[in-house]
Structure formats: structure tokens, C-alpha cells
Amino acid sequence: MIEETVMDKIIPLPTEEDEMEKVQAELEEEGFPITNFKKGGVFYHLARMLVMIYIELKELARTILNSCFIRHAEGDWLEIKAADFSKFRNEAKTAKGYVTIYRAEYENALQVTKGHCFKTEPDASGNELKFYACEETVIGAGEPSGKVLVEAEKPGSYYNISPGRITISMIHLDGMDRVNNEEGWLFEEGSDDEDYEYLRDRCLSSWDELAAKTIEEKLRNRARSVPGVLDAMINAQHPRGQGTTDIIITGAAGEASPELIRQVQEECDKLRGQYDDFLVKSSEIIKQDFDLTVYLAEDASTDGVDEQAKTLIENMMKLPRGEMNALYRDSIVHTLSEKITDYRKTDIRLPAADQLYDEGKVIIAGTVRVEVKNVTRG
């Protein structure tokens, strides 16, 4: 938003009382016949309505002025303004991946129809995530296992779940022993609607795309234009030899899927010169385990606080966030103390110290263990 002090100079916003006094003074000066300006009077209310409309029009003018500039526009106004830079807000994408069906009996072929539903066990809040087969799949006779491409029920990064979560088939499958989503199961990560600040930054970086040569910021902006890319880092210091450049991307699930890497590679190759060599790869994911004890007031109830604390930590570690390659122990304390009723202190065993890594590395939550106790006196 434009600074309030600047806006007050351009479009000053009066108060209702000041404007009413101004109207009354002007009418008296002009010899207006109605002189009853008491608050209970009919004319007073009519004048007050007009003053309110006048002030609201000024507020609208201030909003329009803010929205004329990409640095200050907000919400839908920002989307409209972004079109002037040939930029459009990336819409949410649906997660796709493979679930593996393991069979106890596999003498015959198994057919999985399109739309077959698989789901996760209910979480602490009772939520189940459903995934549907994208196409008809046949697991041949004699094959003890087979993969089925599935798509999340709804778009969003919420469905970029960890391995081992999809364990239920909603329809009986002959001979099936179990179903699971294995490590690296995601084919294409789901993503949320693009953050407005991210869109603003892409628009402001548009000038870099006008560079005659493929400079680092030009490459970074092109990579970030691909839906599902949270951030991109450019290593142009000849990492693989003279003329080579590495483009390291972070996806909505942290590690970029092969499909997202392919899409970014395809987009960046459009900028490749005769002697350029671009390689797109995923950022390195570091799973950080948490092990801590949360202490509440002496007489406070501890019921459900462990799950609340786990959820708070998982949300704190969600992507995108400010410093994806850093984790501070003080941030854990701040997150818990701000939201947990009767909070007193936290004993953090893991991480044992602040975690700070080089660019190109992203910290995500691993196993979260929380114990809840009451403080004791004496």
C-alpha cells in the first residue's frame, strides 16, 4: 500500500464530523434557509448520508490509486494489473502419483478401473484424503505388484502427502494383499493458487526478461513462471564446465517431481543460446525430526495438546516459507507459546541446535514427537 502520509497529501480523507461542520458553515455562508442542523433533525440525516457517500467515494479513489501500481495493488486488483506485464496468476494444480498394489494371489490379471478410489486413514481431525485412478490399469497375470496412476480429489499442496499414507482401497480388489504409496510416489505435485506476493515479485522481475542475453534473473523468472515451482536458484558459475548453468528448483512438495523438472527444463531451454548448457534439478530435501516436551501450567489439562503441538510444528514447516534452508529453535518456542493455552516452556531435544544450510537445500518436517507435561513446584 502507498504510505498513509503520502496518500493523505494526494487524496486527504476527512472525518464525518469535520465534513459536517464544513457543510454547515458553507450553507450558512450562502444563506441557506434551513438552519436546523441538530442531530435529530431530518435535514441533518440527509446531509450526513451525502457526507458518508462523499467519504466513501474518496476511499474508493484511494483504492483505485493504489491499484494503479504493481507495487501497491492487492488481491484481484493485482491480478488485473499483472496482465500488463503478460503475467497471470498460476492456478492450483491437482497432485498426481502412483500407488502400488501388492497381491497375495496373482495367477490372474487384475483390472483397476478408471475412477477407482483409494484413500488415507483418518488423521487426528478425522480427515481422509481421497485419490482416484486416472486411467484403466491392468496388472498382468503372474505379477505380484503393480502401479496405478491416481489423482487427488481436489487441487492443492495439501495432497502432497508423505509415503505410506494411502493404504485403503474403497472397492474390493481380488487377490489384493495391501496398497501403499511408496517413496517418490508423486508424479506431479499439487500446488495452491499462487500467492499474491509471489505474483507481484514475478511482475517486478519482468524487466530482467528484456535482457538481450540469458542472465541469471531472466532464467530464474522463467523457471518460477511454471505452476508448482515455489522458488528457483541459479548457479551460473560453470558447475559442470565452461558454459554450464544449473537451475535448482523447489516444488510445492519440497523435492521437485520428475514431471516438474521436465516442464521447467522445457521452458528454460527456450532461452538457451548456441553455447549454453542448462540443467534443471531439484533442491536437496533435508528431513528434520522433532523431539520435544511441552510444559503447561501446573493445573492445566494436557488432553489433545500433543496433537495440537504436532500440527503447529507441521504448519510452521510447510512450504513456502521465508527461509526454507534455515530452522531456528526460537521459532519453535514462538510458534507453540503463541497458540497453546497455559503454555509455560518447551524442552527441545531435536533439533539440538539451529539448522542453517546452503542455498539449494530445503528443510521439511520429518517425524514429530511431542510429550506434554505439567510444570511442578518444589
**Structural element, H or E, at residue 302:** none
pLDDT at 197 over 60: yes
Q: Is 242 exposed, middle or buried (0-12, 13-18, 19+ CB in 10 A)?
A: exposed
Q: Is the pLDDT of residue 124 over 70?
A: no
Residue 201: its pLDDT value, please? 84
Sign of dihedral through CA atoms 160, 166, 170, 172? positive
CB-based burial, 198-231: b 16+ in 10 Å, e otherwise: bbbebbebbeebeeeebebebbbbbbbbbbbbbb
Over 70: is that where the pLDDT of 149 sits? yes
Res 19: pLDDT: 84
- In the numeric block, which cell numbers belong to residue 17? 464530523
Q: HSE of 297 in the Cβ direction (CA atoms, 13 Å)?
A: 6
Residue in 308, 270, 335, 288 with CA at minimum distance from that of residue 124: 308
User: What's residue 13's pLDDT?
Assistant: 85
Q: In one letter, which amino acid is 361? A: K
C-alpha cell at 227: 505452476
Q: Give the Å distances, CA to CA, from 335 to 128, 308, 332.
A: 26, 11, 5
Q: Which are the contacts of 213, defined by CB distance < 8 A and separation ≥ 6?
A: 273
User: Which residue from 8, 1, 34 is spatially nearest to 196, judged by alpha carbons?
Assistant: 1
Peptide bond into 239 cis (omega under 30): no
Is the CATH code 2.40.30 the one for domain 96-188?
Answer: yes
Q: Which amino acid is located at 124 in the chain? A: A
Q: Is the pTM of this model over 0.85?
A: no
Hey, what amino acid is at 272? R
pLDDT band at 213 (very low <50, low <70, confident <90, very high): low
Q: Where are the domains of the chain?
A: 4-68, 96-188, 211-282, 285-374
Q: Whole-angstrom Cα distance, residue 222 to residue 114?
A: 35
Reply yes or no on whether the pLDDT at 157 is more than 70: yes
Say what the pLDDT of residue 119 is.
94
The string over 102-141, giving b where at least 16 C-beta atoms fall within 10 Å of a residue's C-beta and e elsewhere, is ebeebeeebebeeebebbbeeeeeeeebbbbbbeebebee
Instruction: Using the CB atoms, write b or e for 285-308: b if 16+ within 10 Å.
Output: eeeeebebbbbbeeebeeeebbeb
CA angle, 200 as apex, 199 and 201 as ends, to 5°? 90
Note the pLDDT of residue 118. 96
Question: Which of these, 343, 240, 335, lies nearest to 301 by C-alpha position?
Answer: 343
Nearest to 316 by CA among 267, 365, 257: 365
* Average pLDDT, integer, range 328-342: 93
CATH superfamily, domain at 211-282: Cation efflux protein, cytoplasmic domain (3.30.70.1350)
Across the range 157-184, mean pLDDT stands at 90
What is the C-alpha to C-alpha distance for residues 203 and 81, in angstroms, rounded to an integer? 9
In the predicted model, is pLDDT for residue 14 greater than 70? yes
- Across all residues in the chain, what is the average pLDDT? 87
Is residue 138 a contact partner of residue 129, using CB atoms and an 8 Å limit?
no
Q: How confident is the model at residue 71 (pLDDT cuts 50, 70, 90)?
A: confident
Q: Are 235 and 203 in contact (CB under 8 A)?
A: no
**Bigger pLDDT: 358 or 119?**
119
Predicted local confidence at residue 295, as pLDDT: 94
Q: For the residues 82-104, what does the mean pLDDT come to? A: 90
pLDDT in tens, 307-334: 899 989 988 998 878 888 999 999 999 9
Cα 137–Cα 142–Cα 148 angle in degrees, nearest 5: 20
User: Residue 214 has what pLDDT?
Assistant: 59
Mean pLDDT confidence for 19-25: 81
What integer pLDDT is reported at residue 225 of this predicted model?
Answer: 86
Q: Among 152-161, 212-221, 364-373, where is mean pLDDT lowest?
A: 212-221
